[in-house]
């Protein structure tokens, strides 16, 4: 895809999705930024400073006009989404993910940074990357395919007006964590049974109105070709 960038540095990978991101980035003809790091298990306060190079690069790429991103995990959304909302007035975000990623350091039982990026992008907690851009308005976020919602996330959904249905108008930026698919089709560190088929994903993406860009995370190694086929249909 023309103008795509693959951000390969550490976010919070506990599996080999950084390698999957590299494979997908190559198939899409992406510019490669950073180098993949070995998986590790760490808490949010260890992963957040380690992810800073990716998060700052992601924001700079948005400001430079990049609209197609590939990364290992979802934490790039901490900086991409506020920057995109500033660039596109009225932007809606379609959050394709088995998880809302709306936890905070206070609500997360696991302390995993990968469960917190959407909450950070919406200003529900401060990850330390403002105030270059205002936070994304949570009332302009649409959860699509979420099926594993923690109690703290449920509270945030209801308190901040996050939608649980697809957007009906644009402009729309798509965040696609491939764990929205069933784990039998896309292995994931935090896979959730009962996920979508490829055909359901293709159909859901086809219904998105006025798509202005996409970020793709969670590609398991060996699955990049099928993901690229789905992206080619957009």
Q: Is the torsion defined by CA of 9, 181, 136, 173 positive or negative?
A: positive
- pTM here is 0.97
Q: Distance between the two ends of the chain, CA-based, in angstroms?
A: 10
Q: What is the CA radius of gyration of the chain?
A: 16
* Residue-range definition of the domain harbouring residue 165: 5-232
pLDDT by residue for the chain (234 residues), tens digit each?
778 999 999 999 999 999 999 999 999 999 999 998 889 999 999 999 999 999 999 999 999 999 999 999 999 999 999 999 999 999 999 999 999 999 999 999 999 999 999 999 999 999 998 778 889 999 999 999 999 999 999 999 999 999 999 999 999 999 999 999 999 999 998 889 999 999 999 999 999 999 999 999 999 999 999 999 999 988
Question: In this predicted structure, what is the pLDDT of residue 57?
Answer: 96
Q: State the residue for tokens 């994931």.
A: 188
The enclosing domain of 111 has a CATH number of 3.40.800.10
Domain count, the chain: 1
Dist. CA 69–CA 15, nearest whole Å: 19
DSSP structure class, residue 196: B
Dist. CA 134–CA 217, nearest whole Å: 24
Give the number of other CB atoms < 10 A from CB of residue 120.
31
């Amino acid at each position: 895809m023309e103008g795509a960038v693959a951000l390969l540095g550490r976010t919070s990978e506990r599996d080999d999705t950084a390698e999957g991101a590299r494979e997908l980035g190559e198939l899409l003809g992406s510019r490669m930024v950073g180098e993949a790091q070995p998986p590790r298990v760490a808490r949010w306060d260890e992963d957040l400073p380690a992810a800073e190079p990716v998060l700052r690069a992601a924001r700079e790429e948005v400001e430079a006009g990049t609209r197609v991103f590939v990364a290992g995990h979802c934490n790039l959304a901490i900086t991409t989404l506020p920057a995109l909302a500033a660039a596109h007035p009225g932007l809606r975000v379609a959050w394709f993910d088995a998880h809302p990623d709306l936890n905070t350091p206070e609500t997360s039982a696991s302390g995993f940074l990968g469960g917190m990026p959407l909450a950070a992008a919406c200003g529900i907690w401060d990850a330390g990357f403002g105030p270059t851009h205002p936070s994304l308005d949570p009332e302009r976020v649409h959860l699509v395919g979420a099926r594993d919602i923690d109690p703290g996330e449920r509270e945030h959904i209801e308190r901040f007006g996050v939608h649980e249905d697809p957007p009906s108008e644009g402009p729309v930026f798509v965040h696609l964590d491939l764990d929205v698919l069933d784990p039998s089709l896309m292995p994931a560190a935090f896979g959730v049974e009962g996920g979508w088929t490829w055909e359901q994903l293709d159909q859901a993406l086809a219904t998105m109105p006025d798509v202005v860009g996409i970020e793709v995370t969670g590609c398991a190694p060996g699955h990049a070709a099928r993901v690229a086929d789905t992206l080619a249909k957009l």
